[in-house]
Amino acid sequence: MGAMLVTPMEIPGALVIVPDVFTDDRGFFKETYSRERYREVGVLGEFVQDNLSISAVGTLRGLHADARMAKLVQVFAGEAFDVIVDARPESHAYGRWQGVMLRATEHTQLYIPAGCLHGFLAMTDGTTLSYKQTALYDPSAEFGVIWNDPALAIAWPLQDQSPLVSPKDRLLPSFDKLRTTRV
């Protein structure tokens, strides 16, 4: 296998990864994860749970986090605007966000460090997002922030429509409220 492309983000520990993709007349092959190879580039921890979501265009999921859980995210079909918000009080990037367009055709992955908020907007019908987690899902350990918090001012690429947001996510607090409850 060749060398995958790894680009560090401004948020400490966050990485954009493009794995090797081998294409021929039959289609393509890619290694989506290999513990040793990914560990060498900074993807730490042991993944213990894999999840898959399929979303209609305009669906916005998040922003969610768990202080114990890092994630490796990728889109297998369609595309999603994926967002990380640094929610680690000790981080110099605390309160900053970054967004990355993940497209199945580009094979891009996003590594999200533990304690960072994560959310995404499905840009196409049938957007299929897969993510590996370093901790088992535990609702009591999860925290979140409302997707449209004006203090974060995330530039979601919405096309003059309101996103489809779950009732649970509509009730998430602001980042400032999270700051006061987590410190």
The catalytic residues are 64, 131
Residues 6+ away with beta carbon under 8 Å from 85: 63, 95, 96, 97, 116, 117, 118, 145, 152, 154, 175
Bridge partner list, 5: 18
Cis check for the bond before 178: say yes or no (omega within 30 of 0).
no
SS3 of residue 77 by DSSP: strand
SS3 of residue 61 by DSSP: strand
Check: CB of residue 84 under 8 Å from CB of residue 15: no
How many angstroms separate the CA atoms of 53 and 16, rounded? 20
How many angstroms separate the CA atoms of 24 and 109, rounded? 22
SS3 of residue 104 by DSSP: helix
How many angstroms separate the CA atoms of 127 and 129, rounded? 6
